[in-house]
Structure 1
Amino acid sequence: MEFVMAVLQYLALLFVLASGLGVLAIAAMFWLDTRQTSDAIRRNYPVIGRFRGLFTELGEFFRQYFFAMDREEMPFNRAQRNWVYRAAENKSNTVAFGSTRNLNIPGTPIFMNAVFPPLDDQFATTEPMVIGPHCREPYVAPSIFNISGMSYGALSKPAIQALARGAGKAGIWLNTGEGGLAPYHLEGNCDIVYQIGTAKFGVRDEAGNLSDDKLRQMAADPRIRMFEIKLSQGAKPGKGGILPAAKIDEEVARIRGVPRGQDAISPNRHREVDDFDDLLDLIGHIREVTGKPVGFKTCIGSADPWFDFFKRVKERGGECAPDFIAVDGGEGGTGAAPMPLIDLVGMPLRDALIRMVDLRDLAGLHDRIRIIAAGKLVAPADVAWAICMGADFVCAGRGFMFSLGCIQALKCNKNTCPTGITTHIPSLQKGLVVEEKDKRVAAYAKAVIHEVEMIAHSVGVAEPRQMRRRHVRVVTDSGATRQMNEIHPSVHLGLTGMARARGHKQFEEALKRLQIEGEEL
């Protein structure tokens, strides 16, 4: 009994001390809040005003888990993320009762199933496609769905390792992003697309200029299949890459050739490229040095300048053309970008892709230049839509981040990613187990490809790239649907294609602008 009383007295003393400390803490906060001048709420409502900041910080969490409906969140809603999670875990993505998608929203694509689709043993299977037929080493790309450029530095070591190994398991390519080639990109023995950013990380000399010796060194690795010149990206067109200083450790600094302790800011464009002739010269130079396909990535603000580009290609000859063009929509993602650029600059992919495809086809370069589409294309329907519009390949970045376990915490630029994907803090990276996540990456890629092939099978074609704009309808402002080929007629090669183009008034001016010295294409 005496022991119990002693414990109770001890607990009472602790309570009094804790209460006293609590009162002192509140008094200190009251004194500080009434004297600080930066926050009006805390000054007018000392102590309790501090809860506003806490609730603002937690609001994002509560909306995501408790209040937002499945298809309400941005930039990716819960339905989209859950599809990727289940696909990455090799779980069934079948649903019951009915769709939760609102099919009355303008812009919603609806695929047109065939009356008599092919039998199940005539399944639509993806065929490999050649990129760069004029190169010394053309690339026979096996997959329609691949991994977009995400740099080591922006992503963590285990994230790059898992992506590379997963890409190798799935038979898809992995784009390095502008941060240069890290040893972790090569671990999966997958096909690599080496992106040359405006800072030319990994292939530049001490003065920051493009180094032919380093290009040859990179090209000597058979795993590097293509080179992509980054002109701009959808998340921040007109501004170069931004890698916050907090994410630049010793290894990242060494691979990129940048100092530690300050942000790594890439130029907003390639200094030696002032016009389309310079761009074609650069493409030709890199292709000659490396012997491999070379193209470029861009986010377009208007189709108007690209008339001149294709005109110059026609004037100089098809062999000078880029082997591919990667079209990034203004809705593309990034690790860090100014809000005005990420929100308001750059044409959305649904407009940009159609314009670039039509210009390529009007110029008669359908089989010469491959089109790669990117910009929030994470689910099979997104990929199938892009192919119907004329894309030859589709790349995704954030979809593969979800396959790694990304929870859309929106901390990519703060080096505090809770899933270890975009942080260089070892204690956070340990949550990303490479030996498990690479399987998820491969499973996600295979699931997307399989379901795109399923859509192609349903609309009645033997290969996904045989899908056309006539195979998809889109919801209009009135709520009715129209076939895409009625809104944006397709243009194909040859005299028949040109005759069709002549039948649509919207192509008349385009054909005139692409004429060379009065000669029709």
Structure 2
Amino acid sequence: AILPAKKNTEEIAKYRDVEKGTEILSPPHHAAFSNDSEMIAFIQELRKLSGGKPIGIKMCIGQQDEFERMVRIFAEKQNYPDFIAIDGAEGGSGAAHMESLHWAGLPIIEAVHFTNGILKKYGLRDEIKVMAAGKIISAFDIYRMLALGADTCYSARGMMFALGCVQSLKCNLDTCPTGITTMIPSRVASLVVEDKKTKVANYHKNTMEAFKELLKSMGLESRKGIDKKFIVRRINENGTKTYQELYSNGLNGRKIKSYG
């Protein structure tokens, strides 16, 4: 993603510790580490500096063998993040490169399923929480992610819709028609905080209420009863399969075994 020079105001430059009026690129790598072991050390440093707050990592899974290697090192060192936030290929902001936005990464369903299985394989599923994101908008979207193994969900797109986003994909151009991602005063004027905050809060509240109603309609008293067997997907014109059948073991057909 790119922060255009014209959007890099004095206030933004101050908080991002960059030079005002310059174009800022989001690098594809992290300056503080270059491999899994160095990342673990960096996570430890962040824990120490934050007084023990939970520290996690966020990613959109690309090469599955690289993710498994990382989790294997977590297990070998018995040192790992408190949570892993998984973004699906469906996600991405309007400021993202178009090819990356549409074609890069593992879709969220397969990504959460795979993550859950790999953590089980190396005995870390109870130690590391899994967060999921990727076009999670409705109550069913939440149910599906929890059924596949996520501990919790987060939503950017849903909140943006509630705020007034119309997906014009102009986030990086300073011409957002709804005033959300622009500095142009006449456009920003449409972003009335007193009105928008209520809409966003209502979206969150009503989505959670819908999730509770979904569980009730299935005869479930709590999220503990959530299961893949309750979700059915059509696989062809005449056939359906449950998620239990489609995603049976968390590793796309490979047998799960505990680490060590």
TM bucket (normalised to shorter chain) is: over 0.9
SS state at 1:474 partner: strand
Q: Of 144, 164, 185, which aligns to 1:426?
A: 185
Shift in CA distance, 361/466, structure 1 to aligned 2, threshold 3 Å: farther
Q: Note the C-alpha offset of 1:464.
A: 2.5
C-alpha root-mean-square deviation of aligned residues, in Å? 2.0
Could you tell me which amino acid in structure 1 is paired with residue 140 of structure 2? A
What residue is the counterpart of 1:333 in the other structure?
A: 92
SS state at 2:154 partner: strand
SS state at 2:204 partner: helix
CA distance in 2 between counterparts of 1:325 and 1:413 reads 27
Could you tell me which amino acid in structure 2 is paired with residue 446 of structure 1? K
Which runs of 5 or more residues in structure 1 are unaligned? Answer: 1-240, 492-500
Q: Of 227, 232, 237, which aligns to 1:473?
A: 232
Q: Note the C-alpha offset of 1:286.
A: 0.7
Q: Of 74, 99, 103, which aligns to 1:313?
A: 74
What residue is the counterpart of 1:292 in the other structure?
A: 53
Q: Note the C-alpha offset of 1:486.
A: 1.2
What residue is the counterpart of 1:448 in the other structure?
A: 207
Q: Of 237, 254, 259, which aligns to 1:507?
A: 254
CA distance in 2 between counterparts of 1:272 and 1:411 reads 31
4+ residue runs over 4 A deviation: none
Q: Of 258, 263, 270, which aligns to 2:30?
A: 270
Q: Note the C-alpha offset of 1:409.
A: 2.7
What residue is the counterpart of 2:198 in the other structure?
A: 439
Residues 423-458 of structure 1: per-residue CA shift (max 9 Å, x gap): 111221111111111111110001111111222222
Residues 382-441 of structure 1: per-residue CA shift (max 9 Å, x gap): 121111111111111121111112222332221111221111112211111111111111
Contact 2:94/2:167 (CA < 8 Å) preserved in 1?
no
Contact 2:95/2:169 (CA < 8 Å) preserved in 1?
no
What residue is the counterpart of 1:108 in the other structure?
A: none
Using structure 2 for the length normalisation, give the TM-score.
0.92
Contact 2:179/2:189 (CA < 8 Å) preserved in 1?
yes
Indicate yes or no: 2:17 matched with 1:243: no
CA distance in 1 between counterparts of 2:142 and 2:97 reads 28
CA distance in 1 between counterparts of 2:74 and 2:134 reads 26
SS state at 2:81 partner: coil
Residues 62-91 of structure 1: per-residue CA shift (max 9 Å, x gap): xxxxxxxxxxxxxxxxxxxxxxxxxxxxxx
Could you tell me which amino acid in structure 2 is paired with residue 248 of structure 1? N
Higher relative contact order (CA 8 A, sep 6+): 1
Contact 1:313/1:321 (CA < 8 Å) preserved in 2?
yes
CA distance in 1 between counterparts of 2:19 and 2:201 reads 35
Indicate yes or no: 2:125 matched with 1:357: no
Indicate yes or no: 2:40 matched with 1:260: no
What residue is the counterpart of 2:167 in the other structure?
A: 408
Could you tell me which amino acid in structure 2 is paired with residue 313 of structure 1? F
Indicate yes or no: 2:71 matched with 1:324: no
Using structure 1 for the length normalisation, give the TM-score.
0.47
CA distance in 2 between counterparts of 1:466 and 1:275 reads 39
Q: Note the C-alpha offset of 1:335.
A: 3.6
Residues 115-171 of structure 1: per-residue CA shift (max 9 Å, x gap): xxxxxxxxxxxxxxxxxxxxxxxxxxxxxxxxxxxxxxxxxxxxxxxxxxxxxxxxx
CA distance in 2 between counterparts of 1:440 and 1:287 reads 35
Moved more, 420-429 or 291-300: 420-429
Contact 2:95/2:170 (CA < 8 Å) preserved in 1?
no
Give the 5 Å matches for 1:184-263: 241-263=1-23
Identical positions, percent:
35
SS state at 2:253 partner: helix
SS state at 2:44 partner: helix
Contact 2:13/2:19 (CA < 8 Å) preserved in 1?
yes
Could you tell me which amino acid in structure 2 is paired with residue 289 of structure 1? L
CA distance in 2 between counterparts of 1:288 and 1:446 reads 35
Contact 1:301/1:345 (CA < 8 Å) preserved in 2?
yes
CA distance in 2 between counterparts of 1:428 and 1:373 reads 32
CA distance in 2 between counterparts of 1:337 and 1:323 reads 28
SS state at 2:124 partner: coil
Give the 5 Å matches for 1:359-378: 359-378=118-137
What residue is the counterpart of 2:150 in the other structure?
A: 391
Q: Note the C-alpha offset of 1:375.
A: 0.9
Which runs of 5 or more residues in structure 2 are unaligned? Answer: none
Larger radius of gyration: 1
